[in-house]
Structure 1
Amino acid sequence: MYYLFCHWEVIVLNPNDNFTDLNTEKERFSAREEASTFTESVCWIPKRGSSSPEEHTMNVAFIAHGYGGLVFVDLLVQRKREVMNRVYSVAFIDSTHNTQHQSRHDPEIREWVHKNCREWVSNSKPLNKTVSFLMRVSCPTFSAGTEKYGLAPSCCLQPIFKYLKSMLKARITTASRNSPVETRSSTNKKRGNK
């Protein structure tokens, strides 16, 4: 939570930390340690929920508060294909975006936002109850559980993460039905390298 109050933006990627040493239960190691200790005597097993480095950066989600929502929609308009391929979901909080105005009437962008985004707004309704707006409807909208703009992000984080988790699960399920992504690790497996 400290990051929210300092106005920092955080992205955490650790695509190289995919294995655990079963013998020592050593989980973290640097690239130099990995090269020197990755031997036949070490029993490395894949970490649960961890995949190849390439797959770690394929599924990205955003939580965009206030003007951050407008900035995200601008990114979507400017880099439409890239964003639609990599971003699996967006949670807006009291966002100032306007999909119809920003997307220059691009129906594909409006459809993507409606399908892949949710918004939580400062409102008198209880947390996570449906809220409807007559003026601007770009995606399903829910109450943040508070009427105070400044408290909205902390009040609605639990339903936001639940939503993002369900969207990621749906994305992974859909991706597994399609042909697998060709990655460095899957190419090595095909060649018989370990």
Structure 2
Amino acid sequence: MYCLIVLNPNDNLVDMKMEREKLSLSAREESLTSMQPCQWIPKRCSSSPEEHTMYNVAFIAHGYGGLVFTDLLVQRKWEVMNKVYSVAFIDSMHNIQHQTGSDPQIQEWILKHCHEWVSNSKPLDKAVGSLMKVNCPTVSAGTEKYGLAPSYCMHAVFKYLKSTLKAKTTTAFTRSPIATRSSTSKKRDNK
């Protein structure tokens, strides 16, 4: 079993001058003639090493890794439920009923935030029902061979993680409006 976490907690600022130059068609000429100082601003949701480490966490858990993740969820329920936006299980050994002790909050979270790919003869991403365990949505990994399941379904897994991140980000932005100078001045003018 392997675990990989790639972080760069020291990368917390964006040089706006460089970003503009990347977007500009004539960036080379501008950078040669311009001697403006750097304009550093904090990155959204990553302005400090601590914030960077807590931002947008997802898991891909294969085999026994699913059991280990579910144990983490049970042991650190609120931390995991608040920080992990999505989990992709691949032929997971977890057992929600046994491991969660029938905790309805955990079971509801798993149903909403997890998806499982299992070795099966059906084509990739086709629904696979399981009468054996209460679980999250379960689909075929596109192969019957356990050892090949991760490579067969990896594209579908990353597509799922990308769509759940997009949904999370969209929900976060719709819930927290951004105050602008014009909106705050309108409020002052209306008083």
TM-score class, shorter-chain normalisation, is: 0.7 to 0.9
Structure 1 CA distance, aligned partners of 2:118 and 2:164?
20
CA distance in 2, matches of 1:126, 1:23: 43
Deviations 1:85-132 (A, max 9, x none): 000010000001010110011011000000000000000011111111
Counterparts of 1:110 and 1:8 in 2: how far apart (Å)? 26
Amino acid of the structure 1 residue aligned with 2:148: L
For residue 151 of structure 2, what is the aligned residue in structure 1?
Answer: 154
Match of 2:64 among 62, 67, 74: 67
Residue identity matched to 1:67: Y
Aligned to 2:27: none
**Letter in structure 1 aligned against 2:104:** P
The 1:23/1:86 distance shift into structure 2, 3 A limit, reads closer
* Structure 2 residue 135 is the aligned partner of structure 1 residue 138: yes
Q: Please identify, of 91-100 and 165-174, the stretch whose mean Cα deviation from structure 2 is larger.
A: 165-174
Q: Quote the residue 2:18 is aligned against.
A: 22
Q: Percent identity?
A: 66
* One-letter amino acid of the counterpart of residue 148, structure 1: K
Distance 2:108 2:153 in 1: 24
- Deviation digits for residues 9-44 of structure 1 (CA, Å, limit 9, x no counterpart): 210112332424518979xxxxxxxxxxxxx61245
Distance 1:94 1:146 in 2: 11
Classify the secondary structure of the residue corresponding to 2:107.
Answer: helix
* Paired residues for 1:79-98 under 5 Å: 79-98=76-95
| Residue 42 (1) aligns with residue 32 (2) | no
Correspondences of 1:167-178 after superposition (within 5 Å): 167-178=164-175
User: What is the CA–CA distance in structure 1 between the aligned matches of 2:66 and 2:87, rounded to whole Å?
Assistant: 9
Number of equivalences: 161
Structure 2's unaligned 5+ residue stretches are 23-35, 178-191
> TM-score, with normalisation over the residues of structure 1?
0.74
AA matched with 2:6: V
1:177 Cα deviation after fit = 2.9
Q: Deviations over 1:47-84 (max 9, x none)?
A: 7x874341552320000000000010000000000000
SS in 2 for 1:76: helix
Query: Which of residues 75, 78, 102 is equivalent to 1:78?
Result: 75
Of the two, which has the highest radius of gyration?
2
> For the residues of structure 1 that align with 2:167 and 2:116, how far apart are their CA atoms?
19
What is the RMSD computed on CA atoms of the aligned residues? 2.7
Please identify which structure carries the higher helix content: 2
Q: Give unmatched runs, 5+ long, in structure 1.
A: 1-6, 27-39, 181-194
Residue 6 of structure 2 is matched in structure 1 by 12
Q: Relative to 1, partners in 2 of residues 1:107 and 1:24: Cα closer, same or farther, differing over 3 Å?
A: closer
CA contact (8 A) 2:97 2:134 kept: no
